């Protein structure tokens, strides 16, 4: 009986850590308060400049946005395009093909967020 329990536990642990480590990897790269939001705005606006990007993401400071963009560029989600022919220099950010692999993640999160918001409202109504 002891053995059965131990075996069951270690199988659970194995399944666990498999799923867990993949999600862990994902969170490591696209987790945090801003990354996904930036990626979404970038995907939906095609190409966009720094200040407009900042205006579209409520609450982000220039410094944080700048750092996040560098990070996203390193990981291949964003391309930074400099139009040197103009003065002052125009810089545009565009999303990459790779960022589009996040489609399902974004849809799942968006759907869940919508559902949850409705749910919260209902709860608030019920508790009155």
Interacting residues with DNA (CB under 7 A) = 32-34, 49-52, 59-64, 66-67, 69-70, 80, 88-93
95: exposed, middle or buried (C-beta count within 10 Å: 0-12, 13-18, 19+)?
buried
Distance of alpha carbon 60 from alpha carbon 66, whole angstroms: 10
6 vs 24, beta carbon nearer its own copies: 24
Residues with Cβ within 8 Å of 114's Cβ and at least 6 positions away in sequence, in order, are none
SS3 label, residue 110: helix
Answer for the pair 73, 65: CB distance below 8 angstroms, yes or no. Answer: no
Q: Which does 50 bind (CB under 5 to 8 A by kind): DNA, its own copies, none?
A: DNA
Of 13-21, 60-68, 82-90, the segment contacting its own copies by CB under 8 A is 13-21
Among its own copies, DNA, none, the one that 111 touches (CB under a kind-dependent 5 to 8 A) is: its own copies
Shortest CB 98 distance to its own copies, Å = 8
> How far apart, in Å, do the first and last CA atoms of the chain sit?
50
List contacts with its own copies (CB under 8 A). 12-13, 15-17, 19-27, 29, 31-33, 36-37, 40-41, 44-45, 56-57, 101-102, 104-117
């Amino acid at each position: 009986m002891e053995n059965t329990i131990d075996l069951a536990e270690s199988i659970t642990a194995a399944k666990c850590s498999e799923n867990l480590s993949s999600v862990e990897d994902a969170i490591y790269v696209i987790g945090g308060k801003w990354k996904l939001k930036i990626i979404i705005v970038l995907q939906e606006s095609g190409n966009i400049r720094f200040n407009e990007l900042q205006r579209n993401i409520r609450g982000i400071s220039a410094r944080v946005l700048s750092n996040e963009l560098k990070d996203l560029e390193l990981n291949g989600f964003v391309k930074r395009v400099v139009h040197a022919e103009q003065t002052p220099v125009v810089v545009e950010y565009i999303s990459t093909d790779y960022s589009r692999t996040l489609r399902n993640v974004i849809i799942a999160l968006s759907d869940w967020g919508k559902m949850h918001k409705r749910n919260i409202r209902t709860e608030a109504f019920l508790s009155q």
